[in-house]
Amino acid sequence: MSEVDGAAAWTAEEARVLGAAIRTRRRAAGLSQEDLAHASGLTRNHLALIESGRSSARDAQRPANPRVSTLAAIAAALDVPVVDLVPAFEGPPKPVVVEFARSMLRGRAPR
């Protein structure tokens, strides 16, 4: 994890692995990017950027850093738990997973 404006952010490698995990689940579900984007409340372009591990079409070096609520919407549309989309990396749990778990334990939807 790196930091963006003081908040935890995905590294470029983590963003690529996350995007690949989402793409694999989407394809396994037989969904197009357009279908999953619509079901998740995202634009197809936003989903394509997340799947490619990028946050901007103009800046290929900047890794995707989706919000917990975005991951939750994608997971809900795929009918899988969020943790199934978040790849396991060496080291401590990713802040995005910890934030999601804490929000669920408090009984409220993540932001």
**Could you read off the pLDDT of 38-94 as tens digits, one per residue?**
999 999 999 999 999 988 767 767 788 888 889 989 999 999 988 888 766 556 666
Using pLDDT thresholds of 50, 70 and 90, give the confidence band for residue 1.
very low
Give the CATH number, domain containing residue 56.
Answer: 1.10.260.40
pLDDT value of position 51:
95
Residue 110 lies in a domain: no
For residue 48, give its domain range: 2-105
* HSE toward the beta carbon, residue 61, CA cutoff 13 A: 0
Q: Does residue 111 lie in a domain region? A: no
Name which of 12, 27, 5, 15 is nearest 96 in CA terms: 15
> What pLDDT sits at residue 65?
83
Q: The pTM is what?
A: 0.74
User: Does residue 47 lie within any of the structural domains?
Assistant: yes
Is the pLDDT reported for residue 110 higher than 80?
no
Count of domains in the chain?
1
43 found inside a domain: yes
Distances (CA, A) of 14 to 11, 17, 31, 54, 70: 5, 5, 23, 11, 16
Asked if residue 9 is part of any domain, the answer here is yes
